[in-house]
Amino acid sequence: MTDSSFEAEGTSVEEASQRALAGAGLAEDQALVEVLSPGRAAVPGERITGGLARVRVRALPRDVVEARQHLRRLLRLMEVDAEVTVTRPAQPDGSAAAEDGPLALLVDGPDLGVLIGWRGESLRALQTVVNLMLKPEAPGSGTPRVIVDVAHYRERRERTVTQMALRLAADVQRSGRTVMLDPMPPYERRAVHMALALEPGVTSESTGVDEGRRVVIRPAERALAPDQSGADRN
């Protein structure tokens, strides 16, 4: 994403957004709008001006713009009534998204369970399809990976997995026993590794192949080198 941005104020978030987009020379579908301050209403009956809303807009990468178009087209063909917006997901520990964090296409609307599927299988398939649709237009190994989320499912799963990893790490610290988790998709394994990176007395490794890939949490002194176990941090 480009580092250039444009900020503007208004009596509402919508007004501030329109001013920022106009100032940046961007259409709404070409920009990420970040609310810096929602503002506040004036006190009724008093001569007090309400606080102004303030937003920042940044131009979206070309791949993200095209990916959203592809995803919207897929949803229309599936006859799914939903909106697709670009957002920065909160971090796995629940804290606010980093300013330079990854972008995600968020699908929101009623009755979206069909897009999520059992344990997120349909969501992962949808993300794969969207990324494959980008390849003819943006070939090469450097093509950015576009994240797709539905009704914040992925974001919630990352928080759940993070909390679970911390509980299991405490058990490993207490018992000194190795714990092996169930197979997980890549983004969940990364959430585990991030959660435990600074936890004292434990280490986490990924082992296995393909759909059977899972995370192992070990006491730090029992950690094995990758060439001994075939494990890594992915």
pLDDT tens readout for residues 4-37? 789 999 999 999 999 999 999 999 989 999 888 9
In this prediction, residue 201 carries a pLDDT of 93
Instruction: Give the CATH number, domain containing residue 225.
Output: 3.30.1370.50
**Taking each helix axis from N to C terminus, what angle separates 62-77 and 121-134, rounded to the nearest 10 degrees?**
120
- Both 92 and 136 in one domain: the answer is yes
* CATH code: domain of residue 68: 3.30.300.20
Distance of alpha carbon 93 from alpha carbon 102, whole angstroms: 15
Domain range for 105: 61-151
74 and 129 part of one domain: yes
148 SS3 class: strand
| 234, part of any domain | no
The whole-angstrom separation of Cα 149 and Cα 115 is: 10
| Cα–Cα distance for residue pair 179/222, rounded to 1 Å | 12
Is residue 59 predicted with pLDDT exceeding 70?
Answer: yes
